[in-house]
Amino acid sequence: MTAGPQDWYVRHGPLTDPEPFGAMLDSLPNGVGGLVEVVQGLLIHDAGLHLYDLTAADFAAASRETRPVSERLSALAAAPLTTARAPAGRIFATCRDYALLLTAFLRHKGVAARVRCGFADYLRPGFHADHWVCEYRHDDGGRWAFADAQMDAAHRRHLGIAFDPAGLPAGRFLTAGEAWRLVRSGAADPAAFGHGTACGEWFLWVNLARDLLALGKREVSDWDGWRDAGPAHRRLDDEARRRCDAIAATAAGADRGPGVIPADLAGRLDPFWP
């Protein structure tokens, strides 16, 4: 069991709490790799349906909305979690759902874990794509590591990924704060970070806010409505950049656990569009 401030990341938040289905998690394997495989057998990514010869029509009634883990478990209660579902019988999900479910599994096992929002360089060549992963605490000296449960065998073949998704190599996933600091230093082009054609400094701001809120166990927020931002809101001035600097600095100190979002910063995390 992790000690000190990390205890906070062992405890469930509102979205990772499995109750009243917590007993379903008792038979899960202990290792991170095994838990990643379990998640992969339960969820199917909305953008990768073609990898399984499926289309959106096969999930016409499904929603992309991130839901609490307890609701996911309710839908999966007919069989043990360790029984991989056929692709057509899995839960329609986004990368955040994979991260959330893996975080819940790890916390149930007494491992400090949290959902992180940032950018991955392995989803699209030459681009850092908007992405969510799980970050967990190793017992080998207490270091943090990233796991991307979405990268199952089909995704790895399609994307040419050779690394273990249970332990991402350094630099393959950047938290929003890490990406922001690279851009601010001039070491990276802000246009290389985003979601499709939505990219640049303003999208870095979106993920900075979402990552900090996720560190506070608020894995969904009004910032998820970033598609509603108009042209006037997709430009940052110097004051907005200073706010981003403050958010990045706060997230970098997130090992403190509770109270990760200072009161003087929380009021400035409201979305910048109506």
Tens of pLDDT, residues 41-55: 999 998 899 999 999
Whether 189 has a pLDDT exceeding 80, the answer reads yes
> Is 128 a member of any domain?
yes
Q: What is the reported pLDDT for 223? A: 95
N-term to C-term CA, the chain: 44
Q: What is the mean pLDDT of residues 167-177?
A: 97
Percent of the chain whose pLDDT exceeds 90? 83
Cβ pair 144, 111 in contact under 8 A: no
| CA dihedral sign, ordered 154, 159, 163, 165 | negative
Mean per-residue pLDDT, 157-183: 97
User: How is residue 196 written in tokens?
Assistant: 């499709």
Q: Please, which pLDDT band fits residue 4 given cuts at 50, 70 and 90?
A: low
Residue pair 155/131 in contact (Cβ under 8 Å)? The answer is no
Q: At what angle do helices 176-185 and 238-252 cross, to 10 degrees?
A: 130
| Assigned domain for 157 exists | yes
> 266 in a domain, yes or no?
no
> What local confidence, expressed as pLDDT, does residue 252 receive?
93
CA distances from 138 to 31, 35, 112, 215, 248 (A): 11, 14, 8, 18, 23
Given a cut of 50, whether residue 230 has pLDDT beyond it is yes
Residue 208 falls within a domain, yes or no?
yes
Confidence at 271, pLDDT banded by 50, 70, 90: confident
pLDDT in the model for residue 1: 40
pTM (2 d.p.): 0.95
Instruction: Count the domains in the chain.
Output: 1
Tens-digit pLDDT profile for residues 25-83: 999 999 999 999 999 999 999 889 999 999 999 998 888 899 999 999 999 999 999 99
Range of the structural domain that residue 176 is part of = 4-255
In a domain, 223, yes or no: yes
CA dist list (Å): 152 to 33, 197, 223 = 11, 26, 28
The Cα diameter of the chain in Å comes to 54
Domain assignment of residue 267, yes or no: no
Does residue 269 belong to any structural domain of this protein?
Answer: no
Residue 262 lies in a domain: no
**Does residue 46 or residue 102 have the better pLDDT?**
102
Q: Is the pLDDT of residue 163 over 50?
A: yes
What is the rounded average pLDDT for all residues in the chain? 93
Confidence of residue 140 (pLDDT cuts 50, 70, 90): low
- Taken in order 82, 87, 90, 95, the sign of the CA dihedral is positive
